[in-house]
Amino acid sequence: MKKRLHQYALASSPIIGIYGVSPFYIFNQIDLPAFFILIVGGTISVYVVWLVNIFFELKFPKQNMVIRFIFTYIVNLGIRLFFVLFFPNLLSADKYHVYAIITSLVLNAIVMVIVHSIVTGYKKSQMEDQLQELKWENAESQKQVLMQQLQPHFLFNALSTLKSLIRENSSQAENYTLQLSEFLRYTIVSPNQQLVTVEKELQFVNDYIGLQKVRFGAAFDYTIEISDSVMQKKIPVLALQILVENIFKHNYLTEKKPLHFSITSRDQNLIVWNEKSLSRISESGNTGLSNLNARYLLICDKEIDVGDSGNEFKVSIPTIEP
């Protein structure tokens, strides 16, 4: 910020100096040598005003603005009057005194406003950066919470299923173990990522559904139809997993009345749809969806679309260009 202020001071001082002295030359009040001498004096005067204002803004940011204005005005006016006294033959001293008093007043006010605006903008930018960083940290914390919620309940059921398979079907138990290992590997790697391709997330979801298929059998069926153009788009990590997991978490599954759900794509969006067969022990909260929506707003300033009717539940999430 300090460097930026001095850059403004160096760039603007000659321009303002020329602008302030030009009327005297234009109306033939001074000759060309005097014009250049006054430009130098005006430039120095403006630069000093900048330096004084920068000093006060950085060292005494809470200093009363009126006191600061008066002090910088006196300094600026003193430099100008000293300069004209040092070169008494440049122009009419009386005319210049009046001109110096008026222009010093305006110049000082302009520079003070510019300096204050730059400093305020810089502080605002810093606060926005800090706020953005806090939002990212919050999103990361939410993701970690989701991971912690996912693993304990799922692992307990998965290990129980694996125990039964080992006794009843060792070959199927081996395949189940491979799927479970791939699933767990993804849950370990994913916290280090913010976005993943739809294709990669879908592989993870397929492993999850495969594990659930071993557990629930014919108690559910599903379809997945995603266009090739969507596969390489990106979504927040675990976004699809959360939606599919909610289907198993909040609905009652039985082979007499299988649960149907689908994962499809439409207009570059992913849509997870399911019939509703709410379990009496289903969690009623929507923390997962709220967190997912907050992450979307933070990452791409978009929201998820939730549709809830009497018999169906549907969530549409936008994909993100890679």
Q: What is the CATH number of the domain that holds 268?
A: 3.30.565
Q: Give the DSSP H or E segment for 307.
A: strand 305-308
What is the residue range of 293's domain?
Answer: 169-318
Q: Categorise residue 268: left if φ over 0, alpha if ψ from -120 to 50, beta otherwise.
A: left
Same domain, 174 and 309: yes
CB of 220 closer than 8 Å to CB of 261: yes
Same domain, 177 and 306: yes
Buried b (16+ CB within 10 A) or exposed e, 129-159: eeeeeeeeeebeebbeebbebbeeebeeebe
Same domain, 101 and 230: no
Residue 284 confidence (pLDDT): 46
Residue 29 confidence (pLDDT): 62
Same domain, 181 and 303: yes
Same domain, 122 and 177: no
Same domain, 103 and 45: yes
**Structural domain contains residue 163:** no
89 pLDDT above the threshold of 80:
no
Same domain, 209 and 105: no
Phi, psi of 184 (to 5 degrees): -70, -35
93 pLDDT above the threshold of 70:
no
CB of 236 closer than 8 Å to CB of 296: yes
CA–CA distance from 30 to each of 42, 44, 90, 163, 175 (Å)?
A: 15, 19, 7, 101, 96
Task: Specify the 3-state DSSP secondary structure of 279.
Answer: coil
Mean pLDDT taken over the chain: 79
Most confident of 108-122, 128-142, 174-188, 293-307: 293-307
**Structural domain contains residue 210:** yes
Confidence of residue 307 (pLDDT cuts 50, 70, 90): very high
Residue 271 confidence (pLDDT): 96
How many domains are contained in the chain? 2
136 pLDDT above the threshold of 80:
no
Q: Categorise residue 60: left if φ over 0, alpha if ψ from -120 to 50, beta otherwise.
A: beta
What pTM did the predictor assign?
Answer: 0.56
Last residue of a domain, one of 96, 128, 160: 128
Same domain, 300 and 197: yes
Residue 145 confidence (pLDDT): 60
Same domain, 174 and 271: yes
Token pair listed for 138 = 């919050």
